[in-house]
């Protein structure tokens, strides 16, 4: 399988922890900033989610190549999951994020963090944490949309409930799976053509 031809990751454990924090912050800020599109209406989530998946691929691919240590993705997942809960999302978001990030860590590690295909697949697995955020719609829709009404208003909640039916969410999740593949692939190409040449990775 192809590998990224970049210099070996170096640095102490403390430095790797710092890098993990930096990339986690970048990941969450990018996600949160793009997610702000949702304030214009729930229909904009059909734009914000795929856009985030495309952009975040570069963040995660570079993170994997820079740190190359097991646990970095898991730490990112735990932090992002906790932040999502603090911003009003269900506990299932944290649960899915922890599981997805741990599995992604295992996949990336199996390729020594340099196998392009495994890094892309690790990114795709990581991004499945989105499922946890939508899961309450399947088993507690009334409570979920009642909470949305408190946060965003009843009109917004009604509009969102009409759009985000379980069937639509399933289709949206499948589409986002393939969008994440593209995002990981784009991140790999950017790393190979730019960051690697500059000696950043």
**pLDDT, tens digit only, all 201 positions of the chain:** 455 444 444 457 888 889 999 999 999 999 989 988 888 888 999 999 999 999 999 999 999 988 988 989 999 999 999 999 898 888 999 999 999 999 999 999 999 998 999 999 999 999 999 899 999 999 999 999 999 999 889 999 999 999 999 999 999 999 999 999 999 999 999 888 776 565 555
Round to whole Å and give the CA distance between 66 and 32.
Answer: 23
Say what the pLDDT of residue 34 is.
92
> What are the pLDDT digits (tens) for 83-120?
998 988 889 999 999 999 999 999 999 999 989 999 99
pTM as predicted: 0.86
């Amino acid at each position: 399988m192809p590998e990224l031809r970049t210099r070996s990751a170096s640095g102490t454990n403390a430095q790797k922890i710092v890098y993990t924090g930096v990339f986690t912050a970048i990941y969450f800020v990018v996600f949160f900033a793009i997610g702000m599109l949702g304030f214009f209406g729930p229909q904009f989530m059909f734009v914000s989610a795929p856009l985030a998946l495309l952009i975040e691929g570069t963040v995660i691919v570079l993170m994997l190549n820079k740190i190359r240590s097991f646990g970095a993705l898991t730490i990112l997942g735990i932090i992002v999951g906790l932040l999502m809960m603090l911003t009003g999302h269900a506990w299932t978001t944290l649960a899915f994020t922890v599981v997805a990030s741990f599995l992604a860590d295992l996949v990336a590690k199996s390729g020594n963090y340099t196998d392009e295909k495994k890094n892309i697949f690790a990114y795709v697995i990581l991004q499945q944490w989105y499922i946890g955020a939508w899961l309450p719609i399947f088993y507690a829709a009334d409570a979920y949309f009642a909470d949305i009404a408190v946060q965003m208003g009843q009109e917004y909640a009604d509009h969102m409930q009409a759009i985000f039916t379980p069937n639509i969410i399933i289709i949206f999740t499948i589409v986002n799976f393939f969008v994440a593949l593209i995002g990981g692939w784009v991140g790999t190409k950017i790393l190979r053509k730019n960051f690697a040449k500059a000696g950043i990775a």
